[in-house]
Amino acid sequence: MHEYLVKAAESKGIELPALEASSKLSEKVLGQFRQSLKKDFSIEKLERLEETDVVLLGSIARGECTEKSDCDYFVLQNGAPPNTTHTLVQAAQQIREDLGYAKPGVEGAFGEIVVAPNLFESIGLNADTNTNLTRRILLLSESKHVTVGQAHAGTIDNILSRYYLDMIDSGHGKDSLAKIPRYLLNDLVRYWRTMAVDFGSKRWRRGDSQLRLAKLRISRKILFAGPLATVLLVPQKTDTIGELPGYLRESLEAPPLAQIAKHTDSLNEESQGAIKTLLLNYDQFISILSGGKRAVLGGTTDDTTSEQEIRNQCREIGDNIQSSLEKIFFEDPLFKESFRKYSAF
């Protein structure tokens, strides 16, 4: 489990057994991917391997993996020969199947070759599709490489540099006082709103899904709130604009939940109580996803009595997380002024 979560749990005198177990499983899966790529597919022999990476995202990358998790991944292409990326796509698909994890979603954001420059050259306007936005934000906020890592790190640096250069081009020098990076903040908000709208479209087209709704209200909301906390604290955690890329790179490496928990000791007493509630409820949700209740929530059983009970349980968890986030972002002195000023207008 990430050190920020461990520290926050110790500070509040709580245990997070489901998160601890899912973190260990996530590390195991990442290790299995790396080992299989080397042993079974001999990827070291591929030409210019350093110019591409197999990148895992989603619950595995966040350290929240369960036995029934999806396995979201893509192959990040940054100049490697086509044969190299083709081999990696096939290898990643085979490893996913061998490990018994569900295939990526049908929308096409995952399981594909992703051209790295599109993620930082096409920010905004028509070329920045929902898929491109999704890949960019998830690469920043929940991604782990299982190959060399050079393309992964370089692409993240280029994305952050693009947001940084937009600030410089607007007339602020590197030595100017640190400011909220509005372009990045707007992209985070846009991604959260996109997830919410896309959920409505999926429900319209495919029917109701309580599992999808629970994820939107809980894990997807934290996926937004974690990086939001990181961005809103830029003026407090950095002195100049020139420090922005380094601060963001280091902070965004932590899972979204850990990006919030990191600031536990800086919050007032009421907000620390909200952090405790947030962590305990999130752990409870991971426990649901880790066991047989996930199948009931996903509508793959005929147990209607249990389904209603678990739906109510997830609704309560979602409400508790919502109220906790409101307490932290709306009322705590650490966040409330920057949240009020930047998050809506």
- Where do runs of H (alpha helix) occur along 63-181? 82-99, 116-121, 130-141, 150-169
What is d(CA 162, CA 117) in angstroms, rounded to the nearest whole number?
11
The one-letter amino acid code at 227 reads P
Average pLDDT, the chain: 93
Give the pLDDT confidence score for residue 156 in this predicted structure.
Answer: 98
Give the pLDDT confidence score for residue 307 in this predicted structure.
Answer: 79
Q: List CB contacts of 257: < 8 A, sequence separation 6 or more.
A: 5, 19, 62, 222, 226, 279, 282
Give the pLDDT confidence score for residue 72 in this predicted structure.
Answer: 94
Distance, CA of 95 to chain centre:
22
**Which is nearest to 314 in space by CA: 279, 282, 275?**
282
Mean pLDDT of 14-39: 97
What is d(CA 58, CA 70) in angstroms, rounded to the nearest whole number?
8
C-beta atoms surrounding 232 within 10 Å: 23
Taking only the tens place, the pLDDT of each residue in 128-174 is 999 999 999 999 999 999 999 999 999 999 999 999 887 776 677 88
pLDDT for residue 298 is more than 90: no
The burial class, CB within 10 Å (0-12 / 13-18 / 19+), for 255 is buried
What is d(CA 251, CA 282) in angstroms, rounded to the nearest whole number?
21
Helix, strand or coil, per DSSP, at residue 76: strand
pLDDT for residue 291 is more than 90: no
Taking only the tens place, the pLDDT of each residue in 234-280 is 999 999 999 999 999 999 999 999 999 999 999 999 999 999 999 99
First to last CA, the chain: 36
pLDDT for residue 205 is more than 90: no
C-beta atoms surrounding 106 within 10 Å: 10
Give the pLDDT confidence score for residue 302 in this predicted structure.
Answer: 59
Structure-model confidence comparison of residues 209 and 289, the more confident one: 289
Structure-model confidence comparison of residues 71 and 295, the more confident one: 71
What is d(CA 73, CA 96) in angstroms, rounded to the nearest whole number?
9
Give the pLDDT confidence score for residue 282 in this predicted structure.
Answer: 98
pLDDT for residue 300 is more than 80: no
Answer for the pair 315, 322: CB distance below 8 angstroms, yes or no.
no
Taking only the tens place, the pLDDT of each residue in 72-91 is 999 999 999 999 999 999 99
Please report where in the chains the tokens 């370089």 appear, as a residue. 154
Please report where in the chains the tokens 């042993």 appear, as a residue. 39
